[in-house]
Amino acid sequence: MIEAQGKQGQFHRNLVKNKCPKCEQNLEVTGKTDTQLFRRCKSCQLSIVDPLSGGEYPEDVCEICD
C-alpha cells in the first residue's frame, strides 16, 4: 500500500482532476461496470476503482459514465 503524501486533501483533488494520487500523471479509464469505474496510471501502474455513485472522478472523464 502506498502512503499518501502532500497537502491535506491533495489525494482527493488529484482523483477529481483525473490525476494519479501517487505520481500526478493522467489516469486512463480501463473499464466500467454498472457500479464501478476502473482507472490506471500508465506511469506508475497504480489502479484506482471508484463507485459510479459518489466516486471521485471528473464528470467528463468517461463519456459512457454520464
Cell triple for 28? 486512463
The more confidently predicted of residues 7 and 42 is 42
E strands present in 1-66: 27-32, 36-41, 47-51
pLDDT higher than 70, residue 27: yes
Task: Report the number of distinct structural domains present in the chain.
Answer: 1
Reported confidence tier of residue 41, pLDDT bands at 50, 70, 90: very high
- The reply to whether 4 falls in a domain is no
- The reply to whether 41 falls in a domain is yes
**Segments forming the whole domain that contains residue 16:** 10-65
Range 30-36 average pLDDT: 92
- The reply to whether 14 falls in a domain is yes
Judge contact between 30 and 40, C-beta under 8 A: yes
Q: How many CA atoms lie within 13 A of 17 on its CB side?
A: 12
- Which of 34, 33, 37, 35 lies closest to 60 in space, CA to CA? 37
